[in-house]
Structure 1
Amino acid sequence: MDFDHLAKKQSNLIFQVWLQNLLKNSPEELAGKVAARHCPGTPVRAARLTNGAFNICYRVTYDDGHHVLVRFTALGRVIARNEKVEDEFAIMQYVAQHTAVPIPKFLEGKPLSGYLREPTPEKVTLRSDIHKSVLRRAYFGMAEILLELSKPEFPFIGAVRPDETGEWGVQKPPLTFSMNRLDQFSNIPHGVFSQQQFENAADHFEELARQHFHHFELQRNDAVTDEADCRRKYVARCLFRKLSRDISKEHCNGPFRPYCDDLRPDDVLVDASSLAVTGVVGWEFTYAAPVEFTYAAPWWLLLEKPEDWEADLDQFLVRFMPRFYTFLEALRDCETEKINNGSLLQSQRLSPTMEQSFETGLFWICLPSRHGSMFDEIYWNTIEDRYGLLSAEERANIDTIVKNKLQQASERTLVSHYSIDELVDL
Structure 2
Amino acid sequence: MTIFDEIAEKTGDDQWEEWKNQVLGARDEIAAFVASRRQGDEAREFINWFEGSFNFCLQILKFLHEQTTIPVPRLISWVLTENSPQKFGPFIISDFVKRVHLSNILKDPANRQRLYLNPNIDRRTLDIIFDQIADIMLQLFQFNFDHIGAILKDPASNAWSVTRRPLTYSMNELATTAFYPIDKFPTAPFKSLTQRNLSTNAENARERYIARHLFAQLVNKYYIDDDYIDDDYRPFKLFCDDFRPQNILVDPKTLRITAVLNLEFTNTIPAQFSHKPPWWLLLAGPDSYLFRGHTIEEFVAAFEPRLEQFLQAMQRFNYAARKPFDVDVLFDNCLKEGGAGVEWLDEEARVGLEPFVQMKMKQSKANDSDCTKFL
Q: After TM superposition, is the score higher than 0.5?
A: yes
Measured against aligned partners, the alpha-carbon deviations of 1:274-322 in whole angstroms (never above 9, x if no partner) come to 1112221221100111100001221111222565332432222222222
| Residue equivalent to 1:408 | 363
Letter in 1 for 2:159: E
CA apart distance, 1:178 = 0.4
Match of 1:225 among 192, 196, 200: 200
Distance 1:46 1:306 in 2: 41
300, 305, 312: which is aligned to 1:317? 300
Question: Does the residue aligned with 1:129 lie in a helix, a strand or coil?
Answer: coil
Deviation at 1:244, TM superposition (A): 2.9
SS of equivalent to 1:259: strand
Partner secondary structure for residue 148 of structure 2: coil
For 2:65, the equivalent position in structure 1 comes to 96
1:268 is displaced (CA, Å) by 1.8
* Structure 2 match to 1:148: 139
1:42 shift after superposition: 4.6
Aligned match of 1:66: none
Structure 2 residue identity aligned to 1:219 = Q
SS at structure 2 position matched to 1:124:
coil
The TM-score normalised by the length of structure 2 is 0.81
Q: 1:154 touches 1:170 (CA, 8 Å); kept in 2?
A: yes
Residue 123 of structure 1 deviates from its aligned partner by: 2.0
Letter in 2 for 1:298: P
Q: Is contact 2:107-2:116 (8 Å) kept? A: yes
What is the distance in 2 between the residues matched to 1:49 and 1:115?
Answer: 22
Contact in 2 for aligned 1:158/1:170 (Cα 8 Å): yes
In structure 2, relative to structure 1, the CA distance for the partners of 1:299 and 1:356 (3 Å cut) is closer
The alpha-carbon deviation at position 402 of structure 1 amounts to 0.8
8 Å Cα contact 1:232-1:380 kept in structure 2: no
The residue type equivalent to 1:172 in the other structure is R
Tell me the residue number matched to 1:5. 6
The one-letter code of the counterpart of 1:188 is: Y
Mapped to 1, the partners of 2:64 and 2:107 lie a distance apart of: 28
1:286 to 255, 263, 266: 266
Name which of 332, 335, 349 aligns with 1:380: 332
Give, in angstroms, the shift of residue 245 of structure 1: 4.5
Matches of 1:266 and 1:45, distance apart in 2: 28
Deviation at 1:34, TM superposition (A): 2.6
Q: 1:25 to 1:102 in 2, by over 3 A?
A: same
Secondary structure of 2:311 counterpart: helix
Q: Which runs of 5+ in 2 are unaligned?
A: 75-94, 371-375
State the partner residue of 2:282: 302
Kindly indicate whether residue 230 of structure 2 is the aligned counterpart of residue 275 of structure 1: no
Counterpart for residue 138 of structure 1: 129
CA contact (8 A) 1:176 1:286 kept: yes
Q: Secondary structure at the match of 2:363?
A: helix
Cα distance, 1:192 vs structure 2: 2.2
Are the structure 2 counterparts of residues 190 and 399 from structure 1 closer, same or farther at C-alpha, using a change threshold of 3 Å? same
* Deviation, structure 1 residue 376: 0.9
Give the one of 348, 351, 355 matched to 1:393. Answer: 348
**What secondary structure, in the 3-state scheme, does the structure 2 residue paired with 1:47 have?**
coil
| 1:229-264 deviation per Cα after TM superposition (whole angstroms, max 9, x unaligned) | 111111122123223345334224311110001001
- 2:160 paired residue number: 168
* Cα distance in 1 for residues equivalent to 2:71 and 2:182: 33
CA offsets 1:22-67 (integer angstroms, 9 cap, x no match): 22222x651563365257645644433542322xxxxxxxxxxxxx
What is the Cα deviation at residue 413 of structure 1? Answer: 5.5
Task: Kindly indicate whether residue 314 of structure 2 is the aligned counterpart of residue 356 of structure 1.
Answer: yes
Q: How far is 1:164 from its partner? A: 4.3
CA-to-aligned-CA distance 1:85-117 (integer Å, 9 cap, x gap): 5xx100111111112212232325332222222
Distance 2:283 2:266 in 1: 19
TM-score (norm: length of structure 1): 0.72
- How many percent identity over aligned positions? 29
**C-alpha distance in 2 between matches for 1:33 and 1:131:** 46
Q: Is the 8 A contact 1:259 1:286 kept in 2?
A: yes
The answer on whether the counterparts of 1:32 and 1:46 sit within 8 Å (CA) in structure 2 is: no
Q: Which runs of 5+ in 1 are unaligned?
A: 55-72, 74-84, 197-206, 330-354, 416-426
Q: Which residue of 2 aligns with 1:242?
A: 217
Whole-angstrom CA distance in 2 between matches of 1:383 and 1:3: 24
Mapped partners of 1:281, 1:393: distance in 2: 43
Report the AA paired with residue 320 of structure 1: F
* Structure 2 SS opposite 1:224: coil
Cα-Cα RMSD: 2.4
Q: Return the letter of the residue paired with 2:300.
A: L
In structure 1, C-alpha distance between the alignment counterparts of 2:345 and 2:351, rounded to whole Å: 10
Amino acid paired to 1:111: H
- Equivalents in 1 of 2:31, 2:303: separation in Å? 40
The answer as to whether partners of 1:160 and 1:288 remain within 8 angstroms in 2 is yes
